[in-house]
Amino acid sequence: MRIAVIGAGLTGLSVAALLLKLGIRAEVFERADGPVDSGSGIYVWPQGAQIMRFLAGDDDLLERGHAVEYFQTNNRYGEELHQTAVRLAEFDFSQPAMMYVRGTLLAALRALLETDQLSFGKACIAVDDNGPDVTVCFADGTESRFDLVIGADGIHSAVRNSVHPKISVVDSGVAAARGLVAFDCRLLRRDLCQIFAFDTSRLVSYPLSPTRDDRYWFLAYPHHHKPLMDREALIRHCSALRDPLPDFVRRTPEDVILSHPLLDLEQNHEWYYGRVVLVGDSAHGVLPTLGYGYTLGLENGFALVQALLSSRQGDIEGALRRYRRRVAGRSREMAQVMRDITRLFYFDGEAAVNTKSLEPIYADFRKLARSTVF
Ligand SMILES: Cc1cc2nc3c(=O)[nH]c(=O)nc-3n(C[C@H](O)[C@H](O)[C@H](O)COP(=O)(O)OP(=O)(O)OC[C@H]3O[C@@H](n4cnc5c(N)ncnc54)[C@H](O)[C@@H]3O)c2cc1C
């Protein structure tokens, strides 16, 4: 089967590596001219780490990350409001949740592919599923033909827009700034994700190492349709937090801070159109409030590869139908949980954040997490 994967982000690389492991060499096309390192962190839940272990077959991929097993929610003074384990007690996952530097993980995934399997500088502008094959058209004027096209090209997916242009990407009203920094103080732990809720905002700290002070931080706030905060405004904003927490931003140079509005995707669309299928943010684009986007992409990519490999020769449609049945409803519900937690922290605000308000949302989340594909 000739398969194209459009997009060499975390999901596209993982799907191509899963296919390769199971004997199918897909061609991967990436718009960027070379490897892109966004310079931030990425959290992988045990459900995803378990698939990464399957993918890599040894500890190498997993040893590049750092195990972070609990989420602790604190108030602006650093007093604990809530703590939850990330690993589901009743599941026999051999993998803990892992925290990675994004560039490290992307490089490790690229290394799982064969040389020449990945082409850079190939922006897909359209896919056409009207002939005997699916034609992929690129911005450089070239075309290639495949039996199946997998759109893993992110929330603004050109593949999705080509087959179904009416799906809206929605601004959630929340913006996030994030950065990497070496910083330690008595309040911070090297084994926990720590969330500090203040006003209608959150500062989140993820440790990146058991031995060094390296951390990934994430500061999210409602943007009220005003320009996003620059470094000085972020420092002023988090001065509401107890000292020395604002040092997360003070110690991070301006050019290391990335800022984005957080985007959500309408979730009522199809997951495949003929022989074109979506996976990762192009299909589900969930808000990153619990850092589950890549894990969901891994779970769904794993389900897609399973469906393709277990279908009768040539029955791509049947495989894609099974893939959709297995993952689309669950992903939609997961997106809703992320919206609920986003609303609580960023719109209801600090006074509403407590065990009573967090537990029902985490309970919904755990219920979905239990239905993982692995
Ligand atoms: C602020 C923030 C923090 C987050 N934190 C976490 C976290 O801690 N844990 C987590 O699991 N998730 C997190 N997420 C979500 C996570 O980043 C995404 O779910 C994950 O990166 C999705 O990967 P993807 O490969 O589907 O899409 P993308 O990462 O968007 O990758 C798409 C790739 O396709 C390429 N591409 C785009 N268009 C084309 C085209 N036309 N032709 C060819 N190539 C194209 C892009 O260049 C890119 O390489 C966060 C998101 C944000 C915004």
- CA-nearest residue for atom 11, ligand 1, is 294
Integer Cα distance of 83 and 362 in angstroms: 11
Which pLDDT does position 84 carry in this prediction?
Answer: 87
Closest by Cα among 327, 343, 22 to 200:
343
Which pLDDT does position 263 carry in this prediction?
Answer: 95
Output the six-digit token pair for 225: 């349709």
How far does the centroid of ligand 1 lie from the alpha carbon of residue 8, in Å? Answer: 9
Q: Is 357 exposed, middle or buried (0-12, 13-18, 19+ CB in 10 A)?
A: middle
Is residue 209, in this structure, part of any structural domain at all? no
Which pLDDT does position 39 carry in this prediction?
Answer: 78
The best mutation among 68, 260, 294 to test binding of ligand 1, ranked by most ligand atoms within 8 Å of the C-beta, falls on: 294
Closest by Cα among 45, 39, 31 to 85:
45
Which pLDDT does position 371 carry in this prediction?
Answer: 85
CA-159 nearest atom, ligand 1: 41
What is each CA distance from 237 to 234, 335, 342, in whole angstroms?
A: 5, 28, 19
Q: Is the sign of the CA dihedral 359, 364, 369, 371 positive or negative?
A: positive
What is each CA distance from 42 to 101, 120, 273, 305, in whole angstroms?
A: 6, 23, 30, 23
pLDDT tens, position by position, for the chain (374 residues)?
A: 999 999 999 999 999 999 999 999 999 999 999 998 777 999 999 999 989 988 987 777 888 999 999 999 999 999 999 998 888 777 777 778 999 999 999 999 999 999 899 999 999 999 999 888 999 999 999 999 999 999 999 999 999 999 988 888 999 999 999 999 999 999 999 999 999 999 999 999 999 999 999 999 999 999 999 999 999 999 999 999 999 999 999 999 999 999 999 999 987 788 999 999 999 999 999 999 899 999 999 999 999 999 999 988 889 999 999 999 999 999 999 999 999 999 999 999 888 989 899 899 989 998 898 888 76
| Maximum alpha-carbon separation in the chain | 64
How far does the centroid of ligand 1 lie from the alpha carbon of residue 31, in Å? Answer: 13
Q: Where are the beta strands (DSSP E) in 21-132?
A: 27-29, 41-44, 66-67, 70-74, 80-85, 98-101, 118-119, 124-128
Helix extents (H) in 9-137: 10-21, 46-56, 60-63, 102-110
Integer Cα distance of 274 and 186 in angstroms: 56
Integer Cα distance of 60 and 185 in angstroms: 31
Is residue 274, in this structure, part of any structural domain at all? yes
Is residue 46, in this structure, part of any structural domain at all? yes
Is residue 178, in this structure, part of any structural domain at all? no
Give the total number of structural domains in the chain.
Answer: 1
The residue segments making up the domain with residue 118 are 3-169+264-370
Could you tell me the CATH number of the domain that includes residue 15?
Answer: 3.50.50.60
Is residue 241, in this structure, part of any structural domain at all? no
Helix (H) or strand (E) holding 165: none
Judge contact between 287 and 142, C-beta under 8 A.
Answer: no
Is residue 207, in this structure, part of any structural domain at all? no
Which pLDDT does position 185 carry in this prediction?
Answer: 94
Is residue 362, in this structure, part of any structural domain at all? yes
* pLDDT tens by residue, 199-247: 999 999 999 999 999 999 999 999 999 999 999 999 999 999 999 999 9
Total residues belonging to the chain: 374
Who lines ligand 1 at CB under 6 A?
Answer: 6-12, 29-32, 42-43, 123-124, 152-154, 158, 176, 178, 260, 262, 280-281, 288, 291-295, 297
Is residue 41, in this structure, part of any structural domain at all? yes
Which pLDDT does position 44 carry in this prediction?
Answer: 95
* pLDDT tens by residue, 335-360: 999 999 999 999 998 889 898 998 99
What are the backbone dihedrals phi and psi of residue 35, each rounded to the nearest 5 degrees, phi first?
-55, 135
What is each CA distance from 359 to 73, 132, 219, 241, in whole angstroms?
A: 12, 52, 22, 24
